[in-house]
Chains A and B, each alone.
Chain A
């Protein structure tokens, strides 16, 4: 079946550092989605990407849709404590069925 591979699995960074994570697929996706999940909550959509090569920002978050349509990147600049959580990439497969990666866990060291 379809799989999305995220890396790294976990990140431990200092507050103020920039963060970069990525997601790859064995298949082409026409839309890439990035979600954040905080403890005890459901995933919340951060950024949606619709076009190969597209670069989209949402505050300190920037995501790019890879030109091969098989990968995407999410960057967070100047991290703050509330950035802690699990970041999932996802993509719609066959109509509205959305497939999620396993997530990148972001930890911020005091």
Chain B
């Protein structure tokens, strides 16, 4: 596609439910990143992949959060047993293989609201 896409754009769920957020990177982009952005804050790094390999997951808040990219393209961020504090905008970004770290292109985000 022309840009990074994310789905759903909005997700409302009840506390305790699991949610899966999807990211479809720009075609050909090797690296894929997940960020969380709370209202009024900058994006906070969660994890990233090169191809299908998860390179760094140090930003995942706890073990309820996990991510995968099984075929090196689409990625899914899963939050189990959601809590109200998980409510935020979740953003995905992808990077061209020949670019250095800064050439990331961000998607529109998924806004998650946990009731």
Contacts and interface: CB of A to CB of B under 8 A. Distances in A.
B87 to A, nearest CB: 17
Interface size class on chain B is: 20 to 34
B36 to A, nearest CB: 11
Interface string A81-102: 0000000101010111111111
A101 B93 CA distance: 17
Interface residues of A, number: 23
A95 B43 contact: no
B104 A95 contact: no
Interface of B: 4, 31, 33, 35, 40-45, 48, 55-56, 58-59, 91, 93, 95, 100-104, 106-109
Interface of A: 4, 31, 33, 40-45, 48, 88, 90, 92, 94-103
